[in-house]
Amino acid sequence: MSKLLVIIPDRLSAIVKKGEFSARYYNPGNLFEEVHILMTNDDKPDPAGLQKTVGDARLVLHNLPEPTFRSILGYRAWYLNWWARDAVALARKIKPAMIRCHGNWLNGYLAQRIKSALNIPYLVSMHTNPDEEFRGRVSDKREIAYWNALRSVEETVLKNANLVLPVYKPIIPYLKSMGLNNYEVAYNVLNPDYLKQKKSYALHSPVRLISVGRHFREKNPENIIRALMKLPNAHLTLVGDGPYQDQLVRVAVECGVAGRTSFLPAVPNDQLCAMLPDFDIFVVHTEYWEIGKSVLEPLLTGLPLVINRRQGEPVPELQGDHIVLVDNTPNGYHLALESLINDDVMRENLGRRAYAHAQTHWAPTITEGRYVEIYKKIVGLNAING
């Protein structure tokens, strides 16, 4: 189990720059002695900035830029197989014990071709529901054609994987739509070093509210800003950036709460996780059918959480007494926040329930240990089958 090959579509330089990586993200439990990361792009990240993601392992970076949609006539298998030859040759040279893919895109297709040629097992972790978050939200004809063509690639990748790991339950309907049963929900491993339990629920003055997330249509916190108008002793910190940023600044000015609203476009993940317990309440808006890390992190610290009821089917992980669900309106947020601010017992009980629930389901030690267990199982089975 000395070598792991990770194949990803991400441009790692941007993620390193934002400080979003946590320790051992690509090498849970320091299981492998050598980790090779193959990027399906031309990104050249600084290896020093990525070392923490593989723990104590030796890190080696590779590039194999994916072909354009037009150049291979809409992802025809013959052209993709030609492109994948270099990945097969690389894997033959590395001899990894297994492959991990983040997403079932063209990076997953490379893993499928490697398995076909060399019998190396691969896992696919699914971080989105493509039918919900991509096909369900596009309207441009070219984008529709792209996503329709890509579905055959997605299906090939998933059906040939040794195991598929959706990182939250709302991904399961997508997997079932492809007739897939070979999956296990395995939640993301979040920051193991900087997520600490909130110790005191005594309110600050002003009350410290925090919201984290990229600012665009589906995650627009405008109604939270408007709710601040009726909470004169509260200060809102918005961590995130996006196309709605300037609009949100104007809303804060319009509502007369600019002096009680702080905009932080980016905060390194270690710093963000460390500062969460110093806030009083986490409040957020999202229409995505998911439970993202920006919501899991405050729950893991025991921070009371207020979130909207999304339009459409609810997120299973966000049902229960460990959070407060509200309508996405200024009044909905105002009433919930006001109740928590005015009732010390309610606020503390909510936070402690959040902490207990999150630690049971998503504690970094539990989730990281789960990946270690899965990796060992897959590599062991492959050794027997081989």
Per-residue pLDDT tens over the stretch 229-274 = 999 999 999 999 999 999 999 999 999 999 999 999 999 999 999 9
3-186 and 207-362, same CATH topology: yes
Identify the three-state secondary structure at position 118.
Answer: helix
Give the mean model confidence (pLDDT) for residues 198-206: 97
Q: What is the pLDDT of residues 281-319, one digit of tens each?
A: 999 999 999 999 999 999 999 999 999 999 999 999 999
pLDDT at 70: 65
The span from the CA of 151 to the CA of 145, in Å, is 10
Q: What is the pLDDT of residues 152-167, one digit of tens each?
A: 899 999 999 999 999 9
pLDDT at 63: 98
Q: What is the pLDDT of residues 336-362, one digit of tens each?
A: 999 999 999 999 999 999 999 999 999
Q: How big is the CA angle at 381 (ends 64 and 61), to the nearest 5 degrees?
A: 20
Q: What is the pLDDT of residues 21-57, one digit of tens each?
A: 999 999 999 999 999 999 999 999 999 999 999 999 9
Pick the CATH number of 3-186 from 3.40.50.150, 1.10.1740.10, 3.40.190.10, 3.40.50.2000: 3.40.50.2000
Q: Which of 43, 84, 63, 24 is nearest to 367 (CA)?
A: 24
Q: What is the pLDDT of residues 68-84, one digit of tens each?
A: 766 555 567 778 899 99
pLDDT at 142: 79
For the domain spanning 207-362, the CATH number is 3.40.50.2000
Please state whether the predicted TM-score (pTM) of the whole model is above 0.75. yes
The span from the CA of 220 to the CA of 213, in Å, is 9
Sheet of 34-39, strand order: 58-63, 34-39, 3-8, 98-102, 122-126, 163-166
Q: DSSP states of 121-169 as a string? A: -EEEEE-S-HIIIIITT---HHHHHHHHHHHHHHHHHHHHSSEEEESSG
Whole-number average pLDDT of the chain? 94
Q: What is the pLDDT of residues 54-68, one digit of tens each?
A: 999 999 999 999 987
pLDDT tier at 386, thresholds 50, 70, 90: very low
Task: Copy the structure tokens of residue 316.
Answer: 């299973």
Q: What is the pLDDT of residues 95-151, one digit of tens each?
A: 999 999 999 989 999 999 999 999 999 999 999 999 888 888 877 877 777 777 788
pLDDT at 39: 98
Q: Which of 189, 169, 360, 323 is nearest to 269 (CA)?
A: 189
pLDDT at 148: 79
pLDDT tier at 321, thresholds 50, 70, 90: very high
Residue 45's CB is within 10 A of a number of other CB atoms, namely 18
pLDDT at 385: 42
Contact 301/327 with Cβ under 8 angstroms? no
Domain coordinates of the chain in residue numbers?
Answer: 3-186, 207-362
pLDDT at 18: 87
pLDDT at 351: 98
